[in-house]
Structure 1
Amino acid sequence: MSKVVVYKALPKEALELLRSHHDVCYLPDLKTVNESFLTELKDAEGILGASVTLSESTLAHAPILRAISTISVGVDRFDIPALNQRRIPLMHTPGAVTETTADTAMLLMLMSARRAVEMSDLVRLGLWRSSITPDHFGFDIHGKTLGIIGMGRIGQAVAKRAHAGFNMKVMYYNRSQNKQAEQQSSALKVDLDTLLINSDFICVLLPYNEQTHHFIGRDEFQKMKSSAIFVNISRGKVVNEKALVAALEERDIYSAGLDVFEVEPLPVESPLITMKNVTLLPHIGSATHDTRYNMAMMATKNLINAMAGNIEQHCFNVDTIK
């Protein structure tokens, strides 16, 4: 059987399935590339894992590699040009995280609008001694305008929740038209400036690449309403974090809800940590038992399929390596 290296913990069922097809080298606690990992790559034909960056120099240690499967939707930890040059398929897990990540977007919007963390601390610290005054009021979410930057699967799921559940008006900025979102959620495709100027809530759902690096910066924040609530659940580097901090400090926007950051884990010295008008989550977009199990099973099946030459489904670079 072909050898595959697994560098992320898998559910028992996924590991057993993979072992029924391949010889598995199991390194479930790998946090960063080390000599043991590089040694195992020398005769590996498949790789399965997540959360570790595999650069071109790392992949060079796997001369007979035929396929990679990541337990994630994002692929920014992989050197895509290097994989394309070697015609190595990169399998990922689109669809598995759609619904739960959309839930997280709504969670951040609600928490930010109603100042949930701040109000919870008020109770926990024993500072709630009388009726809440206007100083502690938040904003409604229902009936407001939501601007979605990046209308893919997750954006469409967010739009559906916002429109059907909260009667929100939805506008979106995207390279292509999403007719399903328009039919399902009455979403309106607009240019970026129109979205920034008119949205009460702005949710970023862009993939990270060279084109989207710091896609949202100081100019974009200054176009937003001073009452706008900004949410990022895509990738931290899509947003210029220094510009975001400045926008929050100068009250160019009302608040932010963040599940992703330019550096993760977020450094303790980050000014975001001490800001009361920021809701911070530790990249939990897909962090539920059900979703993580489904992702692991999908990634395992993806690798089995790719090793058998079947890359028509869930292959990120299928059009490039065909």
Structure 2
Amino acid sequence: MDLKDKTVICSGKIRPVAIAYLQDKVTLKSWQQRGRVPEEQWNAWLQEADALYSAGNIRIDEKLLQKAPKLRVVAQSSVGYDNIDVEACHARSVKIGNTPGVLVNAVADIAYGLLIDTARGIVRGHLHTKNGLWGERKAMGLGVDLYNKTLGVVGFGDIGSAIAKRAQASGMRVIYHNRSRRLNDAALGARYVSWEELLKTSDFIAVAVTLNPSTKGLFNEAAFAAMKDGVRFVNISRGKVVDTDALYEALKSGKVAAAGLDVTEPEPLPGDHPLLTLPNITVTPHMASATEETRDEMALVTAQNIVAALSGQPMLAQVK
């Protein structure tokens, strides 16, 4: 099918692999410079757009949709889509694509790295050395082993189970809580438990849920209070899953011995945020999927979602 009469616009800079895939199939309008597309140009593009390649840097809601009368496809280069008003899109018969699956290993690697850091203080050790404290023979304190500890995974989908596999390589026991029990959990070496049991018995907790009304603010003051004293906490899901103020108090009091976050609320996290004054937290800038291979694959799937939808074919991954 000839799609050259279809216009695809991009909300930001996209990977060359996606440009190469799209430019021979559709009329592509992409902004490959720093910053956002100038507003006047962006509004003109929206008038022409049959499909929108979202870099995740804009809000896609009724206000935007009103400016894009021809729009039929929105494809975002990410798993999450909390910046997209799904109901507004579906009300206008706009299909939504995302990229689950392709970033599982990259995200699980970051989660495992943060897990190790909460146990051993790798980043803190680097700063200890950099600041001359090692040379001054200042004590840094002891970490804990991962071996023979219990990891509680909240959200046991593809990413959660990939985190579990890495943790098991360190000799950790894995329990998990999910909306429902996975039929293959025995084969994965994990045990399903209630929310209450996970909080009460985990030495480490890793969060890998999607953001939705039931998970927003899931880790609040009550949840942290129910955890083991000295628990270690890792979040690679979405910042809004965690009540930031509650986490700050739990870290400050020592209830949570250490935390590793790749996502925060707010995001980006300001450099002067109170969380960053604490010595027992490591925050990375939402970089879990930031590898060359993963970002290329995410970009390609996004482009393929667009072409499939414009051709009347099923998307590789569609938000229902």
Q: Fold conserved (TM > 0.5)?
A: yes
| 1:34-63 superposed Cα distances (whole Å, 9 cap, x missing partner) | 342122111210000222221221121111
**Which residue identity is paired with 1:145?**
T
Distance, in Å, in 2 between the alignment partners of 1:108 and 1:39 is: 44
Distance, in Å, in 1 between the alignment partners of 2:21 and 2:295 is: 17
> Residue 256 of structure 2: SS of its match in structure 1?
coil
Residue 163 of structure 2 corresponds to: 158
CA deviation after TM superposition for structure 1 residue 69, in Å? 0.7
> Residue 296 of structure 2: SS of its match in structure 1?
helix
CA deviation after TM superposition for structure 1 residue 181, in Å? 3.7
Distance, in Å, in 1 between the alignment partners of 2:25 and 2:74 is: 15
Distance, in Å, in 2 between the alignment partners of 1:94 and 1:221 is: 29
> Residue 136 of structure 1: SS of its match in structure 2?
coil
Distance, in Å, in 2 between the alignment partners of 1:302 and 1:180 is: 30
| 1:100-126 superposed Cα distances (whole Å, 9 cap, x missing partner) | 100010000111110111111111112
TM-score, normalization by structure 1: 0.93
- Which residue of 287, 290, 294 corresponds with 2:290? 287
Distance, in Å, in 1 between the alignment partners of 2:229 and 2:108 is: 25
User: Aligned residue pairs: how many?
Assistant: 314
Residue 95 of structure 2 corresponds to: 89
Asked whether the 8 Å contact 1:49–1:71 carries over to 2, the reply is yes
- Which residue of 12, 17, 22 corresponds with 1:18? 22
| 1:201-257 superposed Cα distances (whole Å, 9 cap, x missing partner) | 101111112221101100000111111101000000010001000111122211110
Residue 142 of structure 1 corresponds to: 147
> Residue 217 of structure 2: SS of its match in structure 1?
coil
Asked whether the 8 Å contact 1:89–1:311 carries over to 2, the reply is no
Q: Percent identity?
A: 35
> Residue 63 of structure 1: SS of its match in structure 2?
coil
Gaps spanning 5+ residues in structure 1: where? 318-322
Asked whether the 8 Å contact 2:50–2:72 carries over to 1, the reply is yes
Distance, in Å, in 2 between the alignment partners of 1:251 and 1:32 is: 45
- Which residue of 164, 174, 178 corresponds with 1:170? 174
Residue 42 of structure 1 corresponds to: 47
Residue 239 of structure 2 corresponds to: 236
CA deviation after TM superposition for structure 1 residue 270, in Å? 1.1
Instruction: Confirm whether residue 249 of structure 1 aligns to residue 252 of structure 2.
Output: yes
Distance, in Å, in 2 between the alignment partners of 1:156 and 1:213 is: 21
- Once the two structures are superposed, the pairs formed by residues 1-322 of structure 1 within 5 Å of their partners are 1-28=5-32, 29-31=34-36, 34-51=39-56, 52-129=58-135, 133=139, 135-163=140-168, 165-184=169-188, 186-317=189-320
CA deviation after TM superposition for structure 1 residue 312, in Å? 4.9
Residue 320 of structure 1 corresponds to: none
| 1:80-112 superposed Cα distances (whole Å, 9 cap, x missing partner) | 010111121111111111001000100001111
CA deviation after TM superposition for structure 1 residue 265, in Å? 1.3
CA deviation after TM superposition for structure 1 residue 129, in Å? 3.0
Distance, in Å, in 1 between the alignment partners of 2:39 and 2:315 is: 32
Distance, in Å, in 1 between the alignment partners of 2:156 and 2:267 is: 25
TM-score, normalization by structure 2: 0.94
Asked whether the 8 Å contact 2:13–2:55 carries over to 1, the reply is no
| 1:2-36 superposed Cα distances (whole Å, 9 cap, x missing partner) | 11101232333321220111101112345488342
Asked whether the 8 Å contact 2:15–2:296 carries over to 1, the reply is yes
Gaps spanning 5+ residues in structure 2: where? none
Distance, in Å, in 1 between the alignment partners of 2:106 and 2:184 is: 20
